[in-house]
Amino acid sequence: MADRRFVVLDDAAALAAAAAEHIAGILERVGGRGAVCLTGGGTIGPVYRRLAQPDLAARLPLDRLDWFFGDERMVPADDPRSNAGQARATLLDPLGVPAARIHAIPTDDADPHTSSRRYAAELAGFYGSDRLDPARPLFDLVLLGLGSDGHVASLFPGRSALAERDRWAVGVDTAGLAPFVPRVTLTLPALASSRAMLFIVAGAEKRPVIAQLLAGADLPAARVRCAGPVLWLVDRAAAPDTLIEDRS
Ligand SMILES: O=C1O[C@H](COP(=O)(O)O)[C@@H](O)[C@H](O)[C@H]1O
């Protein structure tokens, strides 16, 4: 990927600060109505909390931004595993984002496939079409974490969701992936329809998978494309030696 760039930060605090600054820098330049695709997981929490602080919050054009999600677990919003619940508690509620601008993936259906169809329809309604136009990306910014197995959003290695080429969201049956609960995920075409993408990765358990990605492994994270620049912010613990040597 020609426009992929890695930056290594000294620790988790520096990573959160750099990520929040980068997000604010992109969103403050959004022209007209904008759309952000949020992520979940443990790494993103400190980023959201930093972004909600007054100095960065003041730079966000909140009256013009809509907030979406790259994936979700089929749990109620008040469950600690809910990506939307985490984003609301740490970012969206502190920013005062009105409910109408928060597009959580529905989790009140009996199965994730029904939820995914509802969410795809919601995305298409916002976009004004159910056909993605490469000249008019769906999102202004997509945030992504990275699983130790190379998954992004809920696109896991070897699962059928990874091969989806038409639908924007699909259900993920996580049988065999215990303790994970069923999920809904955006697909590669939907995630790729973005003007910019930011991966945020921390922790020594992520170092092997980043080394695999740098070596060209065909993991879900390697298959994600973007209409614009892709920045990887990685803390030192997650950075293979080759990335650290690149800094000297
Ligand atoms: O399963 C998930 O994990 C990834 C990464 O999470 P982290 O805790 O290792 O940072 C996340 O990007 C994804 O949204 C989430 O559902």
Tell me, what's the pLDDT at 247? 61
CB of 45 closer than 6 angstroms to any ligand 1 atom: no
Q: Which atom of ligand 1 is nearest to the CA of 148?
A: 9
Atom from ligand 1 closest to the CA of residue 145: 12
pLDDT in tens, 48-72: 999 999 999 999 999 999 999 999 9
Burial of 63 (C-beta count, 10 Å sphere; 0-12/13-18/19+):
exposed
**Exposure string for 135-160, b = 16+ CB within 10 A, e = fewer:** eebbbbbbbbbbbeebbbbbbbeebe
Report phi then psi at 100, rounded to 5.
-65, -20
Segments of the chain with pLDDT less than 70: 1-2, 178, 246-248
Q: CA end-to-end span of the chain, whole Å?
A: 23
Residue 131: partners with Cβ closer than 8 Å, 6 or more residues away: none
Ligand 1 centroid to Cα of residue 200, in Å, is: 10
pLDDT number for residue 26: 98
Establish whether residue 208 lines the binding site of ligand 1, counting it when its CB lies within 6 angstroms of any ligand atom: no
Quick one: pLDDT at residue 246? 62
Verify whether ligand 1 is closer than 6 Å to residue 82 (CB atom).
no
CATH 3.40.50.9100 fits 13-133+151-185, yes or no: no
Say how many Å lie between the CA of residue 117 and the centre of ligand 1.
22
β-partners of residue 235 are 9
How much is the pLDDT for 177? Answer: 72
Which atom of ligand 1 is nearest the CA belonging to 44? 10
The predicted pLDDT at position 78 comes to 94
CB of 185 sitting under 6 A from ligand 1 = no
What's the CA gap between 44 and 16, in Å, rounded?
8
Is residue 227 within 8 Å of residue 134, measured between CB atoms?
yes
DSSP summary character for residue 66: E
Q: With 0-12 CB in 10 A as exposed, 13-18 as middle and 19+ as buried, what is 183?
A: buried
Q: Which of 151, 156, 201, 210 to mutate to test the pocket of ligand 1 (most atoms within 8 A of CB)?
A: 151
- Over residues 20-48, the pLDDT tens digits come to 999 999 999 999 999 999 999 999 999 99
Instruction: Tell me if the bond preceding 157 is cis, omega within 30° of 0.
Output: no
Considering only CA atoms, which residue is closest to atom 6 of ligand 1?
41
Q: Give CA separation, 5 vs 66, 105, 213, 230, 237, in Å.
A: 26, 30, 13, 6, 18
Are 33 and 140 in contact by the 8 Å Cβ rule? The answer is: no
* pLDDT value of residue 229: 96
CA dihedral 114, 120, 121, 123 (to 10 degrees): 150
Q: What is the pLDDT of residue 175?
A: 78
Q: What is the best residue among 107, 144, 146 to mutate for testing ligand 1's pocket, by most ligand atoms within 8 Å of CB? A: 146
d(CA 138, CA 34): 9
Which two structure tokens, joined as six digits, stand for 34?
């904008």
